[in-house]
């Protein structure tokens, strides 16, 4: 099993480029943000515990996240996977390493998508997601064919509750702290690859594929 991690500030395009990588490489896309939003939509105990943290733009406690990801790795059945949004703390990174070692695997590449704050703020400000299937769009950069309607399933497009200005600013601050810790953790292990994400999704995907070919 090959394991790739995708990191980057909120709104940099992790979800967008993950869909493209999933289609191109056939790897499983495990997004902890998506899993948490599904848990909230289903009204599970995890969803109840995570919702307040997410709406405020704070991290969900490590204990909840680790249990969620361990379960996903077992469901993965040994295939290659792309982890998007996990780990976010050094404690999560250590538990992931231990869990992968037990499964005869390791983190093969950590892709850090980079873009300045003004770019991610424009992307988050115009983001719309389908309330039914979760597909992502942008009112200007990646518009749906019909305003407010999902191209994929016809569902209504809405804004995420954590895309309010106050929550966005907190998420950016949390990310800066989190990444400072994780950058040195993965740099020491020789698996960190920064990729410029200011261009189109196609350009970002090409940058990631080049980085993976060097991993
Ligand atoms: P999560 O869902 O992971 O959110 P995030 O990291 O803040 O990232 P986003 O989903 O906001 O952005 P993205 O980079 O995927 O961008 P997208 O592709 O949508 O986590 C949410 C919350 O869950 C966290 O705050 C935390 O509370 C909790 N959580 C999750 N994991 C956790 C963990 N491990 N530990 C603790 N808590 C955890 O793109 C954004 C917009 O830009 C879209 O409109 C898109 O269409 C557009 N766009 C994308 N690429 C481009 C491009 N190249 N050019 C122009 N527009 C683009």
CB-based contact 13:123 (threshold 8 Å): yes
CB-based contact 58:164 (threshold 8 Å): no
Cα-to-centroid distance, 22 and ligand 1 (Å): 16
Structure pTM? Answer: 0.94
| DSSP one-letter code for 163 | G
Q: Which tokens belong to 175?
A: 């990310």
Using CA atoms, how far apart are residues 215 and 210, in angstroms rounded to an integer?
9
Architecture label for domain 3-115+173-214: 3-Layer(aba) Sandwich (3.40)
Is 127 an active-site residue? yes
pLDDT of 74 reads: 75
Sorted by where each begins, the domain ranges of the chain are 3-115+173-214
**154 CB-side CA count, 13 A:** 0
CB distance 9 to ligand 1 below 6 Å:
no
Cα-to-centroid distance, 181 and ligand 1 (Å): 19
pLDDT of 67 reads: 85
What is the separation, in whole angstroms, between the first and last Cα of the chain? 14
CB-based contact 130:153 (threshold 8 Å): yes
Dihedral, 8, 13, 18, 21 alpha carbons, nearest 10: -100
Cα-to-centroid distance, 121 and ligand 1 (Å): 11
Q: Which tokens belong to 18?
A: 């993950």
Dihedral, 11, 85, 56, 42 alpha carbons, nearest 10: 110
- Residue 155, classed as helix, strand or coil, is coil
pLDDT of 76 reads: 64
Ligand 1 atom 1: the closest Cα is on which residue?
A: 33
- What is the pLDDT tens value at each position of the chain, 215 positions in all? 899 999 999 999 999 999 999 999 999 999 999 999 999 999 999 999 999 999 999 999 999 998 888 888 777 666 889 999 999 999 999 999 998 998 889 999 999 999 999 999 999 999 999 999 989 999 999 999 999 999 999 999 999 999 988 999 999 999 999 999 999 999 999 999 999 999 999 999 999 999 999 98
């Amino acid at each position: 099993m090959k394991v790739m991690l995708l990191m980057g500030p909120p709104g940099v395009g992790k979800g967008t480029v993950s869909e493209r990588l999933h289609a191109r490489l056939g790897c499983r896309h495990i997004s902890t943000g998506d899993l948490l939003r599904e848990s909230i939509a289903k009204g599970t105990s995890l969803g109840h515990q995570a919702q307040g943290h997410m709406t405020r733009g704070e991290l969900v406690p490590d204990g909840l996240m680790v249990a969620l990801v361990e379960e996903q790795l077992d469901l993965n059945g040994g295939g290659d996977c792309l982890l998007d949004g996990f780990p976010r703390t050094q404690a999560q990174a250590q538990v992931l390493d231990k869990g992968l070692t037990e499964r005869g695997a390791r983190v093969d590449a950590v892709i850090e998508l980079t873009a300045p704050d003004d770019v991610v703020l424009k992307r988050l400000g115009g983001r719309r997601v389908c309330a039914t299937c979760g597909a992502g769009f942008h009112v200007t950069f990646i518009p749906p064919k019909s305003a407010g309607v999902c191209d994929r399933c016809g569902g209504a497009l809405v804004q995420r509750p954590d895309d309010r200005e106050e929550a966005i600013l907190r998420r950016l601050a949390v990310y800066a702290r989190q990444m400072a810790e994780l950058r040195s953790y993965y740099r020491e292990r020789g698996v960190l690859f920064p990729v410029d994400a200011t261009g189109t999704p196609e350009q970002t995907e090409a940058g990631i594929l080049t980085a993976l070919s060097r991993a």
